Chain A
């Protein structure tokens, strides 16, 4: 199945050589790595900005910056983290790299469109960062661009809005590419319910990308039109409605949470069976719950707006659906734990991160119910509690799943083994640092600490101090993890084709994969995730 004679995609010399061989490549694996390197760079930029904010908040009063600088920092930190890293993140990196391999294809359906998506992505990302330095000062609206302030702010809001708009196009095109690839390019015999679960997660995600992203694109254009042309979409003085902006923004931005978390769920769903050497528990339930999350996730946006003056019936409706969407997520958690139950558990770094994902995602999920409940939402809205909740979901969920995926697929992607001991130590730093950074926000949030606040009352000092210490520990862990990967890339041992004894298709081809993935397209005869019985695997 795997081609031993073809050069690997890293060595392949096509029409273009050197850097051009990467920047003009339509190979899905190279494009996946282009996304990876871009995302890593932007992640460390945004993480550094976050660290600066934490240093400012280590004590009450001014520490290292002025209030307006702080406003600019939390805005660009949010824009980069949300629009440049977590929304494209897993789908763009691991989706691009592994989707064709996992379904037995040689590439995605539209390789040139795939490369174009990356160029759109990098254009939007660079524009977002440049908005800090252009025009009349860094945008200070927060990543949510709420009107009326985003219409009135004298800062470079239009640059940031344009950046988010362009990034949205990249997301739509990637989603479209994945939908067509999954529909049209699955290997012979790979019926829908023989497809591995990561592609299923990408499929559910892609539909959200295609259907929800245009709404925020139009909404951001409406804000630009209101600023530039004075059209009254959202300004009451011009006949507009500011709550309409919140509806339109969250109609996209809540499903966007599922754009981030569904691929994360897909990644850990691949990891649990491999490191338990046991078939995934409840394959069908995981598939249906992915689709259910994607579908119900469209209709819960109003839970971001409970204090906005929305009607009582709308609040009741959105609160009810928010509790409903927790059900398929809980089904997945049950399935992951049941997959491990009775298995031959091998606690390697990918599994450590995947188990951490469950732990942190559950804390994020349960505290989400506090925010989804009407009565408690009024108390916790716009407090540090919300900051803690979404960092547990986004960083604890998507971030840790990304780290899990990196440790799981690194040997396949680069053909090198990393140092397990260093990876475990880095995990310890990351896990402890993360919890110390964000858990105090739950407590000071309940006590009344507002979010996005430059200064605070003395009673919140302990929480903020601990949080800043956690930020330093987390940064140390992240740098150690990065060092481990870079070191492995240069001096790591050569990775075998299947270091973790996995059974899905990527483990049947050499590490790193050949240029066209497969010598012959494999024929699929059964469901994935059968261990210990060769005739029942994907072979």
Chain B
């Protein structure tokens, strides 16, 4: 078993992340009132992806992990991005 290190985030950084997440949630609610046409879902997904990235790196401590784990998580996220993009080949051109 490898030696595990404890990483304690400061209250300041945790509160900052919380404020950013709340702000992004507010933006994604407000943006539903603006008519963006077919871009609506893409914008919603973009905001959600930024929130996911913040949660994974900050709250789930991915930023403290080794390169392999970062690459593995990046690969998984890339896969899901590809799946969503390919689905939209149908929706944009239907």
Is B15 located at the chain interface by the 8 A CB criterion? Answer: no
Is B94 located at the chain interface by the 8 A CB criterion? Answer: yes
Cα A346 to Cα B76 with chains together (Å)? 43
B89 x A317 contact (CB < 8 A) = yes
Cα A425 to Cα B92 with chains together (Å)? 56
Cα A310 to Cα B92 with chains together (Å)? 10
Cα A211 to Cα B94 with chains together (Å)? 28
- Of all A-B residue pairs in the complex, the 3 with the closest CB atoms, nearest first, are A314-B90, A311-B93, A311-B94
Main DSSP-derived SS at the A contact region: helix
**A243-B90, A311-B93, A314-B94 known, 6 other contacts, Cβ within 8 Å:** A298-B82, A302-B90, A310-B94, A312-B93, A314-B90, A314-B93
> Which residues from chain A contact B6 at a C-beta distance below 8 Å?
none
In the complex, chain A residues 311-326 whose Cβ is within 8 Å of any chain B Cβ: 311-314, 317
Cα A358 to Cα B89 with chains together (Å)? 35
Tally B residues with Cβ within 8 Å of A: 12
B90 x A247 contact (CB < 8 A) = yes
CB distance from B56 to the nearest CB of A (A): 15
Is B52 located at the chain interface by the 8 A CB criterion? Answer: no
Q: Which of B82, B86, B93 has the most CB of A within 10 A?
A: B86
Q: When each residue 68-94 of chain B gets 1 if its CB lies under 8 Å from chain A and 0 otherwise, what string results?
A: 000000001001001100110111111
List the B residue with the shortest CB-CB distance to A308.
B90
Cα A251 to Cα B87 with chains together (Å)? 9
> Which residues from chain B contact A309 at a C-beta distance below 8 Å?
94
List the B residue with the shortest CB-CB distance to A312.
B93
B90 x A310 contact (CB < 8 A) = yes
Q: When each residue 214-257 of chain A gets 1 if its CB lies under 8 Å from chain B and 0 otherwise, what string results?
A: 00000000000000000000000000000100010001000000
In the complex, chain A residues 295-314 whose Cβ is within 8 Å of any chain B Cβ: 298-299, 302, 309-314
> Which residues from chain A contact B87 at a C-beta distance below 8 Å?
247, 251
A298 x B94 contact (CB < 8 A) = no
CB distance from A297 to the nearest CB of B (A): 11
> Which residues from chain A contact B76 at a C-beta distance below 8 Å?
211
A-B contacts, 26 listed (Cβ < 8 Å): A211-B79, A243-B90, A247-B90, A251-B83, A251-B87, A298-B79, A298-B82, A298-B83, A299-B86, A302-B86, A302-B90, A309-B94, A310-B90, A310-B94, A311-B91, A311-B92, A311-B93, A311-B94, A313-B89, A313-B90, A313-B93, A314-B86, A314-B89, A314-B93, A314-B94, A317-B86
Cα A56 to Cα B90 with chains together (Å)? 40
> Which residues from chain B contact A298 at a C-beta distance below 8 Å?
79, 82-83
CB distance from A81 to the nearest CB of B (A): 26
> Which residues from chain A contact B82 at a C-beta distance below 8 Å?
298-299
CB distance from B82 to the nearest CB of A (A): 7
Cα A298 to Cα B76 with chains together (Å)? 12
List the B residue with the shortest CB-CB distance to A313.
B93
CB distance from B73 to the nearest CB of A (A): 12
> Which residues from chain A contact B92 at a C-beta distance below 8 Å?
311
Interface magnitude class on chain A: 10 to 19
Cα A396 to Cα B76 with chains together (Å)? 32
> Which residues from chain B contact A314 at a C-beta distance below 8 Å?
86, 89-90, 93-94
> Which residues from chain B contact A211 at a C-beta distance below 8 Å?
76, 79
List the A residue with the shortest CB-CB distance to B87.
A247
CB distance from B77 to the nearest CB of A (A): 11
CB distance from A80 to the nearest CB of B (A): 28
Cα A243 to Cα B88 with chains together (Å)? 12
> Which residues from chain A contact B91 at a C-beta distance below 8 Å?
311
A311 x B83 contact (CB < 8 A) = no
> Which residues from chain A contact B94 at a C-beta distance below 8 Å?
309-311, 314
Cα A98 to Cα B11 with chains together (Å)? 48
List the A residue with the shortest CB-CB distance to B88.
A314
Cα A299 to Cα B85 with chains together (Å)? 11
Contact of B89 among A243, A251, A311 (CB under 8 A): A311
Cα A314 to Cα B79 with chains together (Å)? 18
Cα A311 to Cα B90 with chains together (Å)? 5
> Which residues from chain B contact A299 at a C-beta distance below 8 Å?
82-83, 86
> Which residues from chain A contact B79 at a C-beta distance below 8 Å?
211, 298
Cα A89 to Cα B53 with chains together (Å)? 36
List the A residue with the shortest CB-CB distance to B89.
A314
Cα A311 to Cα B38 with chains together (Å)? 15
> Which residues from chain A contact B90 at a C-beta distance below 8 Å?
243, 247, 302, 310-311, 313-314
> Which residues from chain B contact A243 at a C-beta distance below 8 Å?
90
List the A residue with the shortest CB-CB distance to B1.
A184
Cα A313 to Cα B86 with chains together (Å)? 10
Cα A243 to Cα B93 with chains together (Å)? 14
> Which residues from chain B contact A310 at a C-beta distance below 8 Å?
90, 94
Cα A310 to Cα B79 with chains together (Å)? 22
Cα A243 to Cα B91 with chains together (Å)? 10
List the B residue with the shortest CB-CB distance to A246.
B90
> Which residues from chain A contact B83 at a C-beta distance below 8 Å?
251, 298-299
Cα A211 to Cα B87 with chains together (Å)? 17
CB distance from B86 to the nearest CB of A (A): 6
Cα A313 to Cα B79 with chains together (Å)? 20
Cα A364 to Cα B41 with chains together (Å)? 38
CB distance from A172 to the nearest CB of B (A): 13
In the complex, chain A residues 388-423 whose Cβ is within 8 Å of any chain B Cβ: none
CB distance from B74 to the nearest CB of A (A): 13
> Which residues from chain B contact A311 at a C-beta distance below 8 Å?
89-94
Cα A312 to Cα B89 with chains together (Å)? 9
CB distance from A490 to the nearest CB of B (A): 44
Q: Which of A251, A302, A314 has the most CB of B within 10 A?
A: A314
List the A residue with the shortest CB-CB distance to B80.
A211
List the A residue with the shortest CB-CB distance to B68.
A183
Cα A169 to Cα B12 with chains together (Å)? 37
CB distance from B92 to the nearest CB of A (A): 8
CB distance from B91 to the nearest CB of A (A): 8
